Structure 1
Amino acid sequence: MNNILNKMLKLIFVIAVILLIFILAVKFTFNFKPLYYFEIENSNIEEFSGLSESKIKENYNYVINYLNSGNEVEFNLPSLPFSDKGKIHFYEVKIIYKALDVILICSLAVIILCLLFNRNFILLLRHASILLLVIPITILIPFIINFDSSFTFFHKLFFRNDYWLFDPNEDPVINILPQDFFFHCALLILLIILISSLILRITTRKIKK
């Protein structure tokens, strides 16, 4: 019985580590504003949207702050009009953000409890480093190969409506959120995961020594 419990805890520990790093990578990427600021020039967002750089940043920063806010604030872009459907979509994205926060906290708690139960679990980071490459990369590679199809599949998977299909006339915010930006986000997430996997591998080797 103890052997089965130990194996289950090992599996839970590894899964928790993977979830923790994956969610941290996602959260960091979408809060890393320099990436978006680079995209403003790279994707000619000023020309495409007809907005000044300061207005673009103002509205983007508002969206990010809204998603990160723990309060039930009403969605209200500072200088862009938006439809009821657009408002609902951003609220649904915020719910996903909150769910990620809950999973993040639970994963961290599981990792700490498992290490308190058995400090040798730290050596399982080696297994986590391998799975950290296999699982997220398996998910992200389709995004890199065929981003358009994967982007559509992602939205159909997580949203029960088509409110994410913005009409630029009703929700011009879509003009400052080009698909290239989300593609570059996927690349950064992948890079962070690769670096994290390498760090875990090096850490376990040093611990063994």
Structure 2
Amino acid sequence: MSGLFRMMTLKKNSQLICLILFLLSLAITLTINARWLYVMDINQLGILDYVTLSKSELMKNYDQLMTYLNFFWVNPLQMVDFPVSESGALHFYEVKRLFQINYLVMLITLIPSVFLLKNKIKEKTLWQLVRPFTIVLSGLVVLLFFMATAFDTFFVKFHEVFFNNDAWIFDPVTDPIITVLPQDYFMHCFILFFSLFVLFIVSFIIIGRIQLKRITKMDEH
């Protein structure tokens, strides 16, 4: 009996982890493909002041970079107006690999997440997500506070966690692409990602609490 209970608990926790990973990877996917954000930042951050390119020419290079990062069969990285050093190519290759891992995680967790949500909606047990999602939200708040108060440190730590070299530290002379990818743009990307992920998590918490209140009222009557 205890073995069966452990198996059920393990299955329940696995499904919950799948859902969280799906929402995480979905938020990442929406962020890294937010072309509109870069278009907006071209004007907001005055990116064109650092190059002799028009906005359309710059966007052509941006699209070439994103095509390389998004599709595993696109090799090597080639941009019309920006040469890439060996070190720069290594870093973009590692970023490309992270992109592919994210897409793989999203695809793998999609079906289990759909089944979990389908069952919880049918059984009216979405309220069970409130507690674990509240814990996730607490962790996100801590990260957001760290990012808001010390983004430079957060940015460095992020790279130290996901990359085991310093290839991400670009030299504008050998990799001029860094001049049109300012740190403030990446800060906006992180803000967008956290906003989306928090929105997903909070939505489930609110829906769960509303459902729990309805169930409680029904039991009272």
Alignment TM-score, normalising by the size of structure 2: 0.84
Q: Find the aligned partners of 2:61 and 2:114 in 1 and give their Cα distance.
A: 38
Alpha-carbon RMSD across the aligned residues, in angstroms, is 2.2
User: Structure 2 counterpart of 1:47, which letter?
Assistant: D
Indicate if the aligned counterparts of 2:29 and 2:103 stay in contact, CA closer than 8 A.
Answer: no
Change beyond 3 A, Cα 1:196–1:117: closer
Cα deviation, residue 29, structure 1? 1.1
Q: Which letter maps to 2:79? A: L
Report deviation, 1:156: 1.6
Number of residue pairs the alignment of both structures matches: 209
Gaps in structure 2 of 5+ consecutive residues = 215-221
Residue matched to 2:134: 130
* Match runs of 1:161-172 below 5 Å: 161-172=165-176
1:4 counterpart residue number: 6
CA distance, structure 1, for counterparts of residue 68 and residue 74 of structure 2: 9
Aligned to 2:218: none
Structure number with larger C-alpha Rg: 2
Q: 1:83 aligns with which of 80, 85, 93?
A: 85
- What is aligned with 2:207? 203
**Pairing partner for 2:53 from 51, 64, 70:** 51
Between 130-139 and 28-37, report the one with greater CA deviation.
130-139
Indicate if the aligned counterparts of 1:16 and 1:107 stay in contact, CA closer than 8 A. Answer: yes
**Counterpart residue type for residue 88 of structure 2:** G
**Equivalent-residue separation in structure 2 for 1:116 and 1:206 (angstroms):** 18
CA distance in 1: counterparts of 2:168 and 2:50, whole angstroms: 20
Change over 3 Å in CA distance of 1:62–1:127 after alignment to 2: farther
**Could you tell me how far apart the structure 1 residues matched to 2:118 and 2:192 are?**
33
- Mapped to 1, the partners of 2:127 and 2:173 lie a distance apart of 54
**Deviation string for 1:74-113 (max 9, x for gaps)?**
1111221111111111011011111111222222233346
Q: How does 1:50-129 map to 2 (within 5 A)?
A: 50-112=52-114, 114=116, 120=123, 122-129=126-133
The 3 A distance-change label for structure 1 pair 138 and 109 is farther
Q: Which runs of 5+ in 1 are unaligned?
A: none
AA paired with 2:140?
P
Q: Does 1:173 align with 2:173?
A: no
- Is the 1:9–1:114 contact (alpha carbons within 8 Å) kept by the matching residues of 2? no
Contact kept in structure 2, 1:125 and 1:204, CA below 8 Å:
yes
In the superposition, the TM-score normalised over structure 1's length comes to 0.88
Relative to structure 1, the CA distance from residue 205 to residue 181 in structure 2 (aligned partners, 3 Å threshold; closer, same or farther) is: same
Q: Provide the rounded CA distance (Å) in 1 between the counterparts of 2:153 and 2:168.
A: 14
Counterpart-to-counterpart distance in 1, 2:75 and 2:157 = 29
Q: State, as a whole percentage, how many aligned pairs show the same letter.
A: 29
